[in-house]
Homo-oligomer: A and B are copies of this chain.
Amino acid sequence: MFSPFLERVRTRAPLVHAITNYVTVNDCANALLACGASPIMADDPGEVAEITQGCGGLVLNLGTLHQHTIPAMVSAGQTANTLGHPVVLDPVGVGASALRTDTAHMLLETVAFSVIRGNISEVKALALGRGCAHGVDASGADAEDPLEETIALARAFARHTGAVVAVTGATDVVADASHAYCIRNGHPFLSRVTGTGCMLSALIGAYVSASPGQVLEATAAAVCAMGVCGELAFARMTPQDGNGSYQTYLLDALCTLTGENLEENADYEVR
């Protein structure tokens, strides 16, 4: 059921504009190329509206947020909204500083997002004004929230924002106001490589750009594809391999993943 979304990225090769952090930007660009999309990174306020016009979708990522980039995010986001392009928000580290929290809230008020993806601490910080992030990772306490609570949170925040909300963790929850996909793919080693969350947000950007009419399903497909690739990458690990090789294997898996692999390995339910 998810494979048509993967194939559509390969066929349509959407151009995705990302305003993102400088820590993981290379991995995001390569993740987009791996899945069959094309990346363009541009964040100067003087060009982002024009750049985003030529693209099929936009990803805004708050990691290494800079004050001078915020107007670029608003400008690109509003342009994408006007053109009907999907816009993805990755509120990296929201809750860790007032700058990030205030910027995320301001963006929610000025830009209509198609998808918001974060870990449980980030989504709680954004939706409830609390959550206890450990830097850019979810806190252990938040990560132990019962699945039912996470689903209720995601649905309520989806209803509030009009966006599909993806809360990624041991079990990923992708929800709109009425339905929630619970996806059990992935591997704990994904958290040993920087940027796997950012890469996933970029991937979601590609998937929703290729299937703009089915944002919920396309987002769930992207989350599931990333999880499956995390498993396939781990299966290649030898005793000498660590997070260096895993990062390489993960991109490789995104690049070689077939619709059949995805269907065979997908492990999810809809609630």
| Chain B CB within 8 A of A137 CB | yes
Please tell me which one of the listed residues B22, B30, B65, B253 contacts residue A247 in the complex, with CB atoms under 8 A apart.
Answer: B30
Contacts of A250 in B (CB 8 A): 244
User: With A249-B244, A252-B245 as given contacts, are A97 and B33 in contact (CB-CB < 8 Å)?
Assistant: no
Contacts of A39 in B (CB 8 A): 23, 135-136, 194
Contact A64 B41 (CB under 8 A): yes
Q: How far is the CA of A159 from the CA of B139 in the complex (A)?
A: 40
Contact A248 B256 (CB under 8 A): no
Q: How far is the CA of A3 from the CA of B129 in the complex (A)?
A: 41
**Chain A interface secondary structure, helix, strand, loop or mixed?**
mixed
Contact A194 B26 (CB under 8 A): yes
Measured CB to CB, the nearest residue on chain B to A98 is B50
Measured CB to CB, the nearest residue on chain B to A26 is B23
Per-residue B-contact encoding for A22-39, CB less than 8 Å = 1, 0 else: 111111011001100011
Stretch at the interface among A111-119, A164-172, A209-217, A235-243: A235-243
Contact A243 B54 (CB under 8 A): no
